């Protein structure tokens, strides 16, 4: 089946940039997503990118997509302690009502003051 | 709007007991789904529904049943709980299954099966 992989942990200092990476195997991916999960809470959609785009910027967030290498990254500029959370990459395999979201294992981002 | 609500927040069961996890949304979303979250494994889709009266299996459906009698509610039933079902369960809803539409997640139910 289709697979999404992420590294499990990233530690940065407050004010630095964070880059969270994700690889996927789906050749028919239509959308790719980044979700954020704070402790004890559900997942919150941060941003998404359509598969025919290379880059998307949204305030402090930059998403880069390398479709050839099936590599997705999320860059958080000026990382704050409030950014500490688990970040999930997800791939929409298929489309419409037959599409299925496939999640990576999640990357725990630790921001040190 | 309350968004997606789940009850209970915590539950402890003994092996073999049955229970129903409740999920409700007040956004008139057609699409609802149940995921389980286990350490180091991300979220895995259990069952989903594309509208009232329609349900289908996800990636890990065994041991779980669902029904969708109304647009608002999507309960998940464990018929005979097993320790392997110890997990955090999330319900989600959206107006469509994918694309640019946001999936809204509930706060989760933490289930322990002894």
Model pLDDT, residue B113: 97
- Cβ separation B44–A48 shorter than 8 A: no
Model pLDDT, residue B95: 80
Interface test with A, best of B10, B29, B30, B42 (most A CBs within 10 A): B42
Helix (H, G, I), strand (E, B) or coil at B107: coil
Tens digits of residue pLDDT in A51-77: 889 999 999 999 999 999 999 999 999
Candidates B42, B50, B102; nearest CB to A103: B42
Rounded to whole angstroms, the Cα distance separating A45 from B47 reads 20
Asked whether residue A93 carries a pLDDT value surpassing 80, the answer given is no
Q: A28 and chain B: CB distance < 8 Å anywhere?
A: no
Mean per-residue pLDDT, B4-33: 95
Model pLDDT, residue B59: 87
Model pLDDT, residue A77: 97
Tens digits of residue pLDDT in B90-107: 999 988 655 556 778 899
Find the range with the poorest average confidence among A73-82, A92-101, B83-92.
Answer: A92-101
- Confidence bin at A95 (pLDDT 50/70/90): low
Helix (H, G, I), strand (E, B) or coil at B7: strand
| Residue spans of beta strands (DSSP E) within chain A | 4-6, 9-13, 18-24, 29-37, 43-50, 55-58, 61-66, 71-76, 85-93, 100-103, 107-112
Residues shown for chain A: 113
Kindly report the number of other CB atoms within 10 A of residue A36's CB atom: 18
Model pLDDT, residue A51: 86
Residue of B nearest to A46 (CA): B102
Q: B58 and chain A: CB distance < 8 Å anywhere?
A: yes
Cβ neighbours for A12, distance < 8 A, ≥ 6 positions apart: A18, A79, A109, A110, A111, A112
pLDDT > 70: what percent of chain B?
94
Model pLDDT, residue B85: 97
Tens digits of residue pLDDT in A15-65: 999 999 999 998 888 889 999 999 888 889 899 998 889 999 999 999 999
């Amino acid at each position: 089946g289709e697979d999404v992989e992420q590294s499990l942990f990233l530690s940065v200092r407050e004010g630095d940039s964070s880059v969270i990476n994700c690889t996927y195997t789906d050749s028919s991916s239509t959308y790719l997503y980044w979700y954020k999960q704070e402790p004890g809470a559900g997942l919150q959609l941060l941003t998404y990118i359509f598969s025919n785009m290379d880059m998307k910027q949204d305030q402090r967030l930059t998403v880069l997509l390398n479709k050839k290498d099936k590599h997705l990254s999320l860059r958080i500029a000026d990382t704050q302690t409030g950014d500490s959370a688990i970040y999930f990459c997800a791939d929409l395999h298929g489309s419409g009502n037959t599409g299925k979201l496939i999640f990576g294992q999640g990357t725990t981002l630790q921001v040190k003051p | 709007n309350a968004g997606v609500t789940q009850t209970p927040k915590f539950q402890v069961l003994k092996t073999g007991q049955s229970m129903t996890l409740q999920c409700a949304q007040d956004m008139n979303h057609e699409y609802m789904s149940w995921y389980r979250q286990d350490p180091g494994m991300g979220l895995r889709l259990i069952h989903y529904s594309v509208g009232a009266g329609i349900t289908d299996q996800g990636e890990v459906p065994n041991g779980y049943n669902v029904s969708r009698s109304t647009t608002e509610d999507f309960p998940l039933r464990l018929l005979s709980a097993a320790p392997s079902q110890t997990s955090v369960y999330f319900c989600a809803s959206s107006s469509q299954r994918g694309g640019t539409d946001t999936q809204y997640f509930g706060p989760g139910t933490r289930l322990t099966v002894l």
